[in-house]
């Protein structure tokens, strides 16, 4: 079973919507690996955003680990 990491950069400012983006790694062998990477990568990104950017856009990141369907 594989899991795909889906990440969104969001803003709490009215009129702005969440924008999907692709992380460096996005396919994982377990939910555990996916979730841990999602939290770690989100934290890394937030550290790299400027304080002004985060405050102005009220930026935050959401992510989900979805089971990859086999075709």
Instruction: Flag whether pLDDT at 69 surpasses 90.
Output: no
Q: Let me know how long the chain is.
A: 71
- pLDDT by residue (tens digit) across 11-57? 999 988 899 998 887 899 999 999 999 999 999 999 999 999 999 99
CA distance 42 to 3: 17
- pLDDT band at residue 2 under the 50/70/90 scheme: very high
Q: Count CB-CB contacts under 10 A for residue 18.
A: 13
pTM of the model: 0.84
| Structural domain boundaries in the chain | 3-67
Instruction: Flag whether pLDDT at 71 surpasses 70.
Output: no
Instruction: Flag whether pLDDT at 70 surpasses 80.
Output: no
CA distance 25 to 65: 12
The two three-digit tokens of residue 16, written as one number: 């702005």
The two three-digit tokens of residue 20, written as one number: 């999907």
């Amino acid at each position: 079973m594989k899991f795909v990491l889906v990440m969104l950069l969001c803003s709490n400012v009215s009129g702005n919507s969440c924008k999907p983006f692709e992380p460096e790694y996005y396919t994982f062998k377990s939910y555990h690996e996916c979730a841990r990477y999602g939290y770690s990568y989100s934290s890394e990104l937030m550290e790299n955003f400027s304080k002004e950017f985060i405050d102005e856009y009220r930026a935050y990141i959401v992510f989900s680990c979805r089971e990859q369907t086999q075709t």
